[in-house]
Each structure stands twice: as structure tokens, then as C-alpha cells.
Amino acid sequence: MKPFFIFFLLFVSICCTGQEKNVLQKDTLTASRVLEEVTVHAFQSGLRWKETPAAIARIGSVEMNRYGNQSLVPVFNSIPGIRMEERSPSSYRLSIRGSLLRSPFGIRNVKIYWDEIPLTDAGGNTYLNLADMNMISSAELLKGPAASMYGAGTGGALLLHTALSFTDSATNRFVTGIGGGSYGLFQQQSGWQYSSNHFASVLQQTHQQADGYREQSASRKDVVKWQMQWQQKKTLWQVLMFYTDLFYETPGGITLAQMQQNPQLSRQAAGTLPGAVQQKTAVYNKTLFGAIRNEIYLSPSFRWESFFSANHTLFTNPFITNYEIRGEANYAAGTSVIFEKKKKNLAVQWSTGAEWLYNRSLISDFGNRSGKADTVQFKDDIHATQWFAFTQVQLNWAKHWVLTAGLSLNNQTFHYRRTTDPLSIFTHKKITAVLTPRIAITYRLTPDISLYSLLAKGFSPPALAEVRPSDGNYYGNLEAEYGWNFETGIKGELAQKRIRFDIAAYFFHLTNAIVRRTNTSGAEYFVNAGGTKQNGIEGYLSYDILKNSAKIPGGLRIWTSYSYQPYRFTDYQQSGINYSGNQLTGVPVHIWITGMDIEPGKHLYGNLSLNCTGALPLTDANDVYADAYQLLQAKLGYRGGREERSWDIFAGIDNLLNQRYSLGNDINAAGKRYYNPAAGINFYTGMIYRF
């Protein structure tokens, strides 16, 4: 382990001005209290967080700055019901209430939007690792089925936001900085923002690289993003464009004995199969993304919104058994009409619209000869189309009640052809259209405390990577999974808003669950496996012991979150073995996270958090478990300067207790290669300058 620290300033990403976070705003506990009153974007509610009839976790600047700015993993993992994993640097998996069951890699079964533009493609996959967290101002995590507004997905949705707003006079802002840390970590970012009363633009660039903790785990990512918005009378235009060049090596899973002997090992050779180092296993992803969005105010009551996006991905993946090259073309379009009217004690909002996604993937599989493409094995041409139409009504009346009722119709089709087979023709697969209703209600006990209940149906068709997985076969018999979720909760604030809480109990039953299987070489395929019962309880509590004021500068907050997830398989039999009643694979029953944010004065600040994750089963048979672990993280920083010119120096320690644990397990893995060990104690530091 060779930590190094770099203090020379280069250009760093810009944090935009706007209602959520000002470009020069310091990330303080005081600022976080102002942010709490910002309305929630989810389900187009326009309500405060504590009034929205849904389980929504909002991540703002305070939450994002508790940790280093290299990864969203610890940020998301501080939220109850959320588990984000990293099998190797930049190889992310995201689980909302156990939705990780079907994701050996990548992000599936969670719909992701960036400023209301879908990042999820028609094949059900999202490359969240293409985005840089320094380009995101805030996020909203919607837990449970959200198909009534966001289409396919039983796991939920993630809404990413970038704050960009207009100013009374022309303004230029810049931010510069640099960072580094253990295992060759180096980070550099740059950006420039211009804003006026009708036009706002932000141009950002980031670079991040690391040697990695394990063998074959180096990574490198370069991102350039341009975003703008232009206002003209009753019309608003927005543009989002970015290009990402991403590379990360994939060390692969190892056995428990190998992890105990040397956790830095990559996948070793076994029998006739070579190891990860010999095959130079890695992922290369080059993606160009562009989108345009428009809002037209037709009248004081009617608003028309629409968007169109297109992107192309060149994806290359030398694996143990093959060398895959994939070209993906993606298109998306959507439109909706929103009616809003307020009269006396009744406010009405009615939204109706549709969204269409299209993906074409040209997949070529070759043999892998020590990291080089060899003989052609086969080539496939796959077209995926996904669309849904929705309507939703929200009623807010008598200052106490909020009722939301929505309904969507969802559909997906695949067209598949193996072009290397003589005289091959397209095979067509259509997922039967499914109606997914959602009804939710909130009752305000007081202006700051609300009770809510909801009933929703979720629908999630198989992803392209499940219909055509890494074993190279086509599984046209896979069916969509679906289920009903009932939920009730209480959330709000007490003691003059010093105490904030959010407690929910949910009951989700999934039918036709899609689960992963592996063959003897480690390549995966998927099957429908009966059902699951995913009932649980989650809670969040924070208490501002000391609030910043003119008399007493500084602040002190303690916070804690807890997830109870005793999920079980129901009616699940595979190869003559009955797994019904077994614990859901890959999901810990208990996750408890607690922390402290402290500002002893105007300049110094610190963050401390402890993540206690319980043991989790690694196989459907529940005969192997990953051990529980306790992850302690700390950060210390110093802010100085004035509002027009300010700087921030920080340093942090990850895994302070030097735990040996796996942050991303390979469930049901062949050869008992379940473990992807994370780094032991490691360090990072950085500096940011705003002017």
C-alpha cells in the first residue's frame, strides 16, 4: 500500500448555482437545513419530502461530502434499504430492497434518470459508472415499484440532478482542485459555468485513475460533460451531453481460502481455464451521449414536456472464456402533458404521457488468447424496444391530505438473430403488456409530521444481458417478473426541526423472480425461480445537537439508519431441489449505519461513520455465508476564504478497522469463487478552490 498526496491545483469540476446548491455555497450543516425545504421531483409531486406519499431518500451536498469524492458507493450505502456494491473499481451494482438478486454485474431492475432524461436503455441496463459524482448536485432514491410513472422495474428508481439556474446578471464561475490516495489513486477535475437571466451553461471535465488493491484491478476514467438551459418567454430548452472513456480491469472472484491467504489475488487458473491476469480481463467502455429536453407553458394551467436522446457505446470485454466486442446504439423519446390547478383548499395535478426506448446491440464473441481477440465464436444482432404510457392524478386538499393515483401500461419486445448461422432469421419475443397501478395517500398529523400508505404493482421484464447472457446462448423463454408492494410509514421533524426521522414497513411479494445461474466455466445464465417474499422495516434518524448560529458558530449532528430485510424465497425449486423458505441470496438481514457530522467552528469540519453489515448467503441453498463486517470511515477538512473565492482541503481514511471483507460477492458462483475482497485501511486527500 503506497499512499501519496498531491497538493498542486489543476482544474476541477464545477458545482453549479441553483436552488439546490450554489456554486460557491459551502457544504455545511446549516446549508442542509435550507435544502430540506426543496421540493421533491419524484412522481412530479412538487411537494416537500415529508409530505410526499412515497419512500424517498434525498441525497444532498452534505451527504455527498461526508466521504471522498471518488465514488458514490459509501454515500448510497448510508441510506436505509439501499446497498451499492463494487466488485472492482468502477464495477458497480445497485440494490434497492433486495433487487440485486439478478445482477451479477452492472445495474438492472432500477430505472435511472439524469435531469429527467433516462440513462437506462431499452435492454434494461444502466451504465451508472459513466457518470462522475462530482457532476451531480443531488439525487433522489425511490424505493419499491415505481412503474406507474417510470416504467419497468420492481426495484425502484434513481433520479440524478444537476443544479443549473439563471442569474440576474452575466456571471462566470470556476472551480479547480486535485486529489490522490492509496493504491495509485489520482483525481483531477475542471469546469466553467456561465449564467445570465436567460441562459446558463456548465462545461466540466474529470479524470480519475488508480492501480487498484488487487491484481488486475487498475482503472481509468475520463469524462467531459456540457449542460445548458435557455429560457425564452414560455419555453425552456435544456441540453445534456457527455463523453466517457472508461477502462477498468476485472480481477474476478476467488475462494474463501484464497481470500484468507492473500486477498489481493485475482481469479486463479483452474483446470483448463486460465486466470484473470493471463487473460487480461477488463472492460473498455466508450460512450457518447446527447439529449435535448423542452418545456412549453401552454397556459397558466397546462405544461407540455418532451425529450429526445441518443447515445452510442463501444463496449469491449476480454473475459476468461471469450473476448466480446459490443456496439450499442440507443434512442429514447418521451412526452407528457401536466395540468395544475389550485382553488381554495384543493390543488389538482394531472400528468399523462409516454416514454419509448430502443436499443440495437451488435455482439461479436471471439476466443480470448491472453487478452487478444482470437477466432470468431459467433455474432449476434439484437433489437430491444421498450415503451410505456402513464397517467397520474395528485390531489392535495384541506392542508392535511395528499392522494396520488397512477396507472401505466408497459411493453417490451426483443428481435434476435445469430448472424454467423447460415440462413438465420430473426426470432421475436414479446413480453405481454402489463398494467401497473399505484395509489398512495398522505395524512399530515402536524405541519411537520406525516403518515403515508401506498399500494403499487411492479413489472420488470428480463434485461438484454439476461436474455442473451455471457454463456452465449439465447433464452427466449425468460418471462417478466412482477409483484405487489404494500407500504406504510411515518416521517417528519421534531424539536424545532432538530430531529428528522423516516420509518417505513413494507410488504413486497415477487412472482416469477429472475435469478442467476453459472455453468462450470463461470459464465452465467438466468432462470425464472418461482417467487420471493421481501418484507422489511427501515428507518432513519438524525439529531442536530448543535445548530450553527450567529452566537455559536459550528454544528454537531448525529445520524443513524437501519434496514431489517428477512427476505425469503417462496415456491422456488431448481433441478429437483426445493429452496422455498431459504433466505434471499446476497441480501443481509441486518444493516446498521451510524455517523457524526461536526463543525467546531467556521472552518474546520469532520465526518465519522460506521457501517455494520450482517452476514449474507452466497448460494440459494444457504450453505455458504459471507461474514459480517464493520466498516469505519473518517474525513477531516478545513474550509477558508470568502464567498467569491474559497478553498477546501480534506483528507480521509477508509476501512479504519482494517476489516477483511468482500464489497461485491459473486452469488451462486462456480468453483466457490464467491469473493471480491475490498481494500484494507486506505487513505485519500484533496483540495478544491472555487473562484
pLDDT digits (tens, 9 = 90+) for 240-293: 999 999 999 999 999 999 999 999 999 999 988 999 999 999 999 999 999 999
pLDDT at 676: 96
| pLDDT of 25 | 37
Burial profile 522-561: b = 16 or more Cβ within 10 angstroms, e = fewer: bbbbbbbbbbbbbbbbbbbbbebebbbeeeeebbbbebbb
The pLDDT value given to residue 549 = 61
Give the per-residue pLDDT at 528: 82
373 burial (CB, 10 Å; 0-12 / 13-18 / 19+) is middle
Domain contains 5: no
Question: To which residue does cell 440532478 refer?
Answer: 161
CATH number for 85: 2.40.170.20
Q: Round to whole Å and give the CA distance between 181 and 655.
A: 14
Look at 148-157, 392-401, 518-527 and tell me which has the smallest mean pLDDT: 518-527
**pLDDT band at residue 670 using 50, 70 and 90 as cut-offs:** confident
pLDDT on residue 660: 95
C-alpha cell at position 458 = 411492479
Give domain status of residue 671, yes or no.
yes
Choice among 16-30, 65-79, 639-653 with the minimum mean pLDDT? 16-30
pLDDT value of position 46 = 84
Q: Are strands 111-114 and 156-161 parallel, antiparallel or unpaired?
A: parallel
pLDDT of residue 542 exceeding 90: yes
Domain that holds residue 99: 29-690
- 180 domain residue, yes or no: yes
How high does pLDDT run on average in the chain?
89
| The predicted structure's pLDDT at residue 26 | 42
Examine the pLDDT at 460 and tell me if it is beyond 90. no
pLDDT at position 2 = 37
The per-residue pLDDT for 473 is 83
Say if 143 falls within a structural domain.
Answer: yes
Checking if the pLDDT of 133 tops 70, the result is yes
pLDDT of residue 484: 94
Length of the chain: 691
Q: Which residues contact 5 (CB under 8 A, 6 or more apart)?
A: 180, 181, 651, 685
pLDDT in the model for residue 17: 30
Burial (CB count <10 Å: 0-12, 13-18, 19+), residue 589: middle
Is residue 149 scored above 50 in pLDDT?
yes
| pLDDT over 50 (residue 635) | yes
Q: What is the pLDDT of residue 212?
A: 95
Q: Which residues pair with 631 in a beta bridge?
A: 611
Give a yes or no: residue 52 inside a domain: yes
DSSP state of 398: T
Provide φ and ψ at 12, rounded to 5°.
Answer: -130, 165
Query: pLDDT at position 464, please?
Result: 85
422: exposed, middle or buried (Cβ count in 10 Å: 0-12, 13-18, 19+): exposed
pLDDT value for 4: 28
Average pLDDT (612-623) is 94
Residue at 20 is within a domain = no
For 305-316, what is each residue's pLDDT tens digit? 999 999 999 999
**Would you say residue 342 has pLDDT above 70?**
yes
pLDDT surpassing 50 at residue 467: yes
Query: Does residue 263 lie within any of the structural domains?
Result: yes
The model's pLDDT over 7-53, given as tens digits with 9 standing for 90+, comes to 222 322 323 333 333 333 344 554 444 444 667 888 888 888 899 99
Q: Residue 174 carries which side chain, given as an amino acid letter? A: F
- Region label for 595, one of left (φ > 0), alpha (ψ between -120 and 50) or beta (otherwise): beta
Cell numbers for 618: 452466497
Q: What is the pLDDT of residue 19?
A: 33
pLDDT digits (tens, 9 = 90+) for 168-180: 899 999 999 999 9
pTM: 0.91
Q: Is residue 390 predicted with pLDDT exceeding 90?
A: yes
Evaluated on CA atoms 371, 372, 375, 380, the torsion sign reads positive
The predicted structure's pLDDT at residue 553: 58
When pLDDT is cut at 50, 70 and 90, the band that residue 551 belongs to is low
Q: How far apart are CA 269 and CA 169, in angstroms?
A: 63
| CA dihedral of 158, 163, 165, 171, whole degrees rounded to 10 | -160
* Model confidence band, residue 196 (pLDDT cutoffs 50, 70, 90): very high
pLDDT recorded at residue 575: 74
- At residue 101, does pLDDT exceed 90? no
Tell me the percentage of the chain whose pLDDT exceeds 90: 69
How many Å separate Cα 615 from the centre of its chain?
23
Q: Return the pLDDT at 602.
A: 83
State mean pLDDT over 417-446.
Answer: 91
**Tell me, what's the pLDDT at 105?**
67
Residue 538 pLDDT exceeds 90: yes
* Beta-bridge mates of residue 495: none
**Residues above pLDDT 70, as percent of the chain:** 92
Mapping DSSP to helix (H, G, I), strand (E, B) and coil, where does residue 488 land?
Answer: strand
- Per-residue model confidence (pLDDT) at position 141: 94
461: nearest Cα among 489, 440, 491, 433: 433
**Residue 162 belongs to some domain of the structure:** yes
Chain position carrying cell 399500494: 455
Q: Look at the chain and report how many structural domains it folds into.
A: 1
Please give the residue that has the higher pLDDT: either 387 or 461.
387
